[in-house]
Amino acid sequence: MKPRVLVLMGSPSDADVMAETVRILRELSVPYAVDVVSAHRTPDQATECARLARDAGIQVIIAAAGLAAHLAGVIAANTTLPVIGVPLDAGPLRGVDAALATLQMPGGIPVATMAIGKPGAVNAGLLAASILSLADADIKVRLDRYRDEMRASLLDKAAKVRATLGPTE
Ligand code: RP5
């Protein structure tokens, strides 16, 4: 199947966290491709990746980076596809640097910025699927099922917490 979501990260050191995005896309059967491109170290590859994506059939790009995280912004500057940014915790500022760099885009070039780190990586996969679900009923069904299972799992765990920690009769 042709990839519909392109998952980019700024360094191989981002792969462990971005495995969470891939896990979600696999769970929802969304075809994806992965690459490592850097706004700073391989700027030509990053630009080319963004410029070729739409004609390659990509519908959403996820771009994750840490530190002075310009990857999502550079990608968004070179395509009008939706770009989801994931700021990563890669240094002493614990990802706040990357969050601000990814989030504070000037008007005209949007980046949908997720939370720092793993929760953001998970949500990037879900948001990409959600965008695709606008025109894909099968993905919508799988997203609804994901929510139902999450709700059921939490209700089950809540019942166990009540049983373990709740007041005695
Ligand atoms: C960013 O710098 C990458 O996205 C990574 O999060 C961070 C550190 O990269 P490495 O020095 O580990 O390659 O560009």
d(CA 106, CA 103): 9
CB contact at 8 A, 61 and 51: no
Measure Cα distances from 47 to 26, 78, 132 in Å: 26, 6, 23
Confidence category of residue 84, pLDDT binned at 50, 70, 90 = very high
Q: Which of 127, 49, 133, 28 is CA-nearest to residue 85?
A: 127
pTM of the model: 0.96
- pLDDT tens digit string along 116-156? 999 999 999 999 999 999 999 999 999 999 999 999 999 99
Per the prediction, the chain carries an average pLDDT of 98
Average pLDDT over residues 83-92: 98
Q: Give me the pLDDT at residue 42, please.
A: 98
**CB 62 less than 6 A from any atom of ligand 1:** no
| Contacts of 23 by beta carbon, 8 Å cutoff, 6+ apart | 122, 125
CB contact at 8 A, 84 and 114: yes
The ligand 1 atom at the shortest distance from the C-alpha of residue 14 is 6
The ligand 1 atom at the shortest distance from the C-alpha of residue 38 is 14
d(CA 38, CA 52): 16
Residue 169 has pLDDT above 70, yes or no: no
Residue 40 has pLDDT above 80, yes or no: yes
Confidence category of residue 2, pLDDT binned at 50, 70, 90 = very high
Angle at 61 between CA 56 and CA 67, to 5 degrees: 135
Q: Give me the pLDDT at residue 168, please.
A: 73
**CB 66 less than 6 A from any atom of ligand 1:** yes
What's the DSSP call for residue 8? E
E strand or H helix at 39: none
Query: To the nearest whole percent, how much of the chain has pLDDT over 90?
Result: 98
